[in-house]
Amino acid sequence: MFLWLILLGILTYVVVRRSVAEVTRTPVWILWLVMMTPAFVWTAWVVLKGDEQVPSLLLLIPFVACPVLYWTLVQAGRRPVRAGAKPQKDLAIAAAAPMTAQPTVRPITPEEEAHLKNCFPWSVYYLQDIEYRPQSLICRGQLRTLADEAYKTVSENISRYFGDRFLLVFQEDRHDKPFFALVPNPHAKTPKAAKFRLRPALALGLAAATLLTTTLAGFLILNRPSVAMPKDLTQLLTGLPYALSLLAILGTHEMGHFLATQVYRMRATLPYLIPVPPAGIFPFGTFGAFIQIRSPIPHRKALFDVGIAGPLAGFVVAVPILIWGLMHSTPIALEQTSSLLNPNSFQPSGSLFLTVVSKLSLGNQLGLEQAIKLHPVAIAGCLGIIITALNLMPVGQLDGGHIVHAMFGQKNGARIGQVARFLVLALALVQTELLLWAILLFLMPVVDEPALNDVSELDGKRDLLGFLALGLLILIILPAPQFLTRMLF
């Protein structure tokens, strides 16, 4: 428990420092303390009261009051925006309110302005106004054709006149009117320095280290508490099935993202696995995997495909691994400590999806009043399903956040993320296993970064696939209803 608290504290401090340190005078440690207060209160209750149920008000009040106090402190100490302030990295800078006065320094010359106006054919996008920012231009007008066609035409014209000097952003303003923005291309000034390398040696080194830590984790899961550490290589290799299963799921998930970026010729790193020695409350041997996307996402279709490719690929691999592992697991009597996160006494009823899969895998061996002692491969499969669900949460820059952004637009996607955070919080009052994740969701920004063409909508097939992905999330995180458990068991 205390290890989780320390990890949460470190993560919270990093998130708070990166997100608000530059926009408010309020000390970071005060903001950190406010956001950690719910965790401190609940930990103190567990220490003092043991297994006694936490009162609902004690769960709800800190969780509601602390984010409100956090927001109030951020706003109270907000720094004034300086006239010469450095432009935001987020391409959404273009959505700011129109400026009342033009700066003396313009990013283009009068001659280039004439060329710029010629980039907007009146039959495609009727240009009405150009606003100058210190390092960007906002072009407002009326869209007179399909968004895809308009972006393609204007983008080709901009490239012909200005080369790769600018990135062209196509968004909607606060009144849902499409506008174009030209922002500096960070890769245009120093092409040699911007040369991108995949660094396969780093990826392979991290993969080898993670294979070692997860193999050790698999051995410890299989032999604890009887054996502390493996005495020889033969004993260590007994943890290999768990390691290979988990790495197959994580690697496939991130490789799905990577391959999707390559389809759209985006620059991205190879998947990087994160090794961690198995210990205490975190015995899994890895913190997961990630890729870094180093170039802007061209449009919402690419955003959707990159976002959904990882969870879909990982899920396809996780399901057969989970089924095989469950078939080799052992049903045991239900215990007081049985839960969705206890591999020694796994209670699948906390997840509708896992309940159905467990019953189909074990058949009549699994009864209503029984839990499951999971095989190490089944543990890897369960982790894969949980990772899929966590990534599909429709919040910010999680995969689910990318999906709803691509389906409904940036602003609507952010609104969905706000609602999702409170729904997960409400569910966490029933499913306490979700409590830590509910806290983390409130620390994440809900606004996803825009694509270059953030106006063009998805086709029907992608919309359907997106709804199916969100439906899968619901099946995984919702507990099995009683009528279904009676039917199955």
Asked whether residue 366 is assigned to any structural domain, the reply reads yes
Residues 300 and 409 in one domain: yes
Q: Based on the domain organization, do 413 and 285 belong to the same domain?
A: yes
Query: Is residue 380, in this structure, part of any structural domain at all?
Result: yes
pLDDT bracket for residue 2 (50, 70, 90): low
* Mean pLDDT for the stretch of residues 409-426: 91
Alpha-carbon gap, residue 223 to 237, rounded angstroms: 12
Please answer whether residues 385 and 432 qualify as being in contact, where contact means their C-beta atoms are separated by less than 8 angstroms.
no
Selected residue with higher pLDDT from 134 and 413: 413
Instruction: Compute the distance between CA of residue 122 and CA of residue 467 in angstroms, rounded to an integer.
Output: 37
Decide if pLDDT at 1 tops 70. no
Q: Indicate whether 119 belongs to any domain.
A: yes
Residue 88 confidence (pLDDT) above 50: no
Joined together, the tokens standing for residue 395 give: 């919040």
Tens of pLDDT, residues 29-57: 888 888 788 778 877 877 777 666 667 67
Q: Is the pLDDT of residue 404 over 60?
A: yes
Same domain for 269 and 175, yes or no, is no
Q: Which residue has the tokens 């899968």?
A: 472
Q: Looking at the predicted structure, is the pLDDT value of residue 327 above 90?
A: yes
Tens digit of pLDDT for each residue in 443-487?
Answer: 787 888 889 999 999 999 999 999 999 999 999 999 998 888 888
Q: Give a yes or no: residue 123 inside a domain.
A: yes
Per-residue confidence (pLDDT) for residue 80, from 0 to 100: 60
**Does one domain contain both 318 and 407?**
yes
State whether 68 and 130 are in the same domain: no
Q: What's the CA gap between 69 and 66, in Å, rounded?
A: 5
DSSP code at position 349: G
pLDDT digits (tens, 9 = 90+) for 91-115: 444 444 454 444 445 678 888 888 8
Give Cα 384 distance to the centre of its chain: 15
Q: Reduce the DSSP state of residue 288 to 3 states and report it.
A: strand
Assess whether pLDDT exceeds 70 at residue 375: yes
300 with 449, same domain: the answer is yes
Query: Which pLDDT belongs to residue 196?
Result: 67
> Would you say residue 106 lies in a domain?
yes
Backbone angles phi, psi at 107, to 5 degrees: -75, -10
Residues 172 and 412: their CA atoms lie apart, in Å, by: 12
- Look up the domain containing 19 and give its range: 2-76
Determine the pLDDT at residue 100. Answer: 46
Q: pLDDT per residue over 177-233, tens digit each?
A: 999 999 988 776 555 445 667 788 999 999 999 999 999 999 888 877 666 777 788
Question: What's the mean pLDDT when you consider all of the chain?
Answer: 85
Q: Residue 81: pLDDT band by 50, 70, 90 thresholds?
A: very low
pLDDT at 432 over 60: yes
Q: How far apart are CA 331 and CA 329, in angstroms?
A: 7
Whether residue 365 is found in the same domain as residue 224:
yes
Report pLDDT for 222: 82
Q: Does residue 424 have a pLDDT over 60? A: yes
Please tell me whether residues 359 and 241 are part of one structural domain. Answer: yes
Average pLDDT for 263-275: 92
Structural contact between residues 92 and 179, judged by C-beta atoms closer than 8 angstroms: no
pLDDT at position 84 over 50: no
Per cent of the chain over pLDDT 90 is 48
442 with 391, same domain: the answer is: yes
State which of 184, 208, 224 marks the end of a domain. Answer: 184
Q: If you ran DSSP here, which 8-state letter would residue 1 be given?
A: -
Q: Is residue 277 part of a domain?
A: yes
When computed from its CA atoms, the radius of gyration of the chain, rounded to whole angstroms, is 26
Q: How confident is the model at residue 413 (pLDDT cuts 50, 70, 90)?
A: very high
Output the CA torsion sign for 80, 411, 393, 406: negative
pLDDT at 338 exceeding the cut of 80 = yes
| Domain count across the chain | 3
Residue 164: band (very low, low, confident or very high) from pLDDT cuts 50, 70, 90: confident
State pTM to two decimals.
0.80
Whether the predicted pLDDT of 243 surpasses 90:
yes
Same domain, 55 and 176: no
**If you average pLDDT over residues 164-183, what whole number do you get?**
91
When pLDDT is averaged across residues 250-256 and rounded to a whole number, the result is: 96
Q: Assess whether 224 and 310 both reside in one domain.
A: yes
194 is a domain residue: no
- Does 8 fall in a domain? yes
User: Do 423 and 328 fall into the same domain?
Assistant: yes
pLDDT given at position 95: 47
CATH code for the domain in which residue 172 is found: 3.30.1360
371: pLDDT strictly greater than 80: yes
Residue 403, CB-side half-sphere exposure with 13 Å CA sphere: 26
Tell whether the model's pLDDT for residue 155 goes beyond 90: yes
If you write DSSP's letter for every residue of 418-435 in order, what string do you get?
Answer: HHHHHHHHHHHTT-GGGH
Question: In the predicted model, what is the mean pLDDT of residues 419-437?
Answer: 86
So what's the pLDDT on residue 447?
83
